[in-house]
Chains A and B, each alone.
Chain A
Amino acid sequence: DAGVIQSPRHEVTEMGQEVTLRCKPISGHNSLFWYRQTMMRGLELLIYFNNNVPIDDSGMPEDRFSAKMPNASFSTLKIQPSEPRDSAVYFCASTYRGAETQYFGPGTRLLVL
């Protein structure tokens, strides 16, 4: 099993640019989570999907952030326009009902200059 796949692994962009992060969950998993990790705030849940439907997006910081899950095998997290304070590591995780844990991807390290 390839595990949760995230791309890109690293992204450097300039303030104001659009950034799109991608995630492929583990096949058969029906829940997907987006997290953001920073030194100041630690690991925070941004949004999670169940069966491709967004369930809770209360962690999304502002309207500049949006997430989609068009099908069971793909999700995107988009930031537009990006700002330097968005610099962080963004993790995607997936799981299924009855699983003991969530399975995390390797993360995307985003730097907004």
Chain B
Amino acid sequence: SQELEQSPQSLIVQEGKNLTINCTSSKTLYGLYWYKQKYGEGLIFLMMLQKGGEEKSHEKITAKLDEKKQQSSLHITASQPSHAGIYLCGALSGSARQLTFGSGTQLTVLP
């Protein structure tokens, strides 16, 4: 089965700083999803990457999938307190539509 490892597990940054979260897969990724979760709430879809080398941006958040399609990174520029939460990467399991998730990265942004 596919396993996703996220790093770091937790991150505390000062407002305005840049940060990067990584997600490494044990197998080739056919679709890599990034979600954000706030405490007590559901998951909010951020981006999905499929092609090796693909990069997508939404506001100040950029996600990349490496050429070998086994690692993805999520980069936040000029972080704000509103970026705080748990970031989860998820991967499609082969041809099925099941998602396997990483353990998450808890982000705290200090004002």
**Given A56-B96, A101-B33: A42 and B101 within 8 A (CB)?**
yes
In the bound assembly, the distance between CA atoms of A4 and B48 in angstroms comes to 20
**Given A43-B88, A100-B48: A105 and B101 within 8 A (CB)?**
no
Q: A104–B104 contact, CB under 8 A? A: no
- For chain A, which range describes its interface: under 10, 10 to 19, 20 to 34, or 35 or more residues? 20 to 34
Cβ of A102 within 8 Å of any chain B Cβ, yes or no, is yes
Q: B101–A104 contact, CB under 8 A? A: no
The chain B residue with its CB closest to the CB of A50 is: B97
In the bound assembly, the distance between CA atoms of A100 and B35 in angstroms comes to 12
The total of chain B residues at the interface (CB under 8 A) is: 19
Segment 66-113 of A: residues with Cβ below 8 Å from B: 91, 93, 95, 100-107, 109
B35 CB, min distance to chain A CBs, angstroms: 8
Q: A42–B42 contact, CB under 8 A? A: no
Contact of B99 among A45, A100, A107, A109 (CB under 8 A): A45
Contact indicator per residue, chain B 86-111, by CB within 8 Å of chain A (1) or not (0): 00100000001111111110000000
Residues of chain A within 8 A (CB-CB) of B40 are 107, 109
Contact of A43 among B48, B97, B101 (CB under 8 A): B101
A residues at B contact (CB < 8 Å): 4, 31, 33, 42-45, 48, 55-56, 91, 93, 95, 100-107, 109
Contact of B43 among A42, A44, A45, A104 (CB under 8 A): A104
In the bound assembly, the distance between CA atoms of A91 and B37 in angstroms comes to 12
Contact indicator per residue, chain B 42-53, by CB within 8 Å of chain A (1) or not (0): 111100100000
**Given A42-B104, A43-B88: A104 and B42 within 8 A (CB)?**
yes
Q: B98–A45 contact, CB under 8 A? A: yes
Cβ of B59 within 8 Å of any chain A Cβ, yes or no, is no
**Given A42-B101, A56-B98: A103 and B45 within 8 A (CB)?**
yes
In the bound assembly, the distance between CA atoms of A93 and B42 in angstroms comes to 9
